[in-house]
């Protein structure tokens, strides 16, 4: 049986998570940044949040298109 999001422990992170979209945080040259899809790095939190929202909407659209669910 698969795990649901409720089973996932809560922990502090600088990753930006919006629904199913996640943009991981990195430290580069002593600054906090985020790795964008396509291997780009940004130090702008608003830009990283925008990409996390886009990833979430893309994942949700694919789930609807193929009638699939990521949560059991």
Q: Quick one: pLDDT at residue 65?
A: 84
* Tokens of residue 24, six digits: 């991981």
Which carries the bigger pLDDT value, residue 2 or residue 17? 17
**Location of structure tokens 């780009």:** 40
pLDDT, mean of residues 32-38 = 94
Percent of the chain with pLDDT strictly greater than 70: 82
Cα 28 to its chain centre, rounded Å, is 19
Buried b (16+ CB within 10 A) or exposed e, 26-49: eeeeeeebbbbeeeeeeeeeeebb
pTM summary value: 0.75
């Amino acid at each position: 049986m698969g795990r649901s999001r409720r089973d996932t422990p809560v922990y502090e992170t600088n990753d930006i998570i919006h629904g199913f979209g996640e943009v991981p945080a990195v430290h580069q040259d002593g600054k906090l940044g985020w790795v964008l899809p396509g291997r780009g790095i940004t130090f702008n939190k608003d830009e990283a949040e925008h990409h996390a929202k886009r990833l979430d909407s893309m994942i949700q659209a694919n789930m609807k298109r193929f009638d699939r669910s990521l949560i059991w």
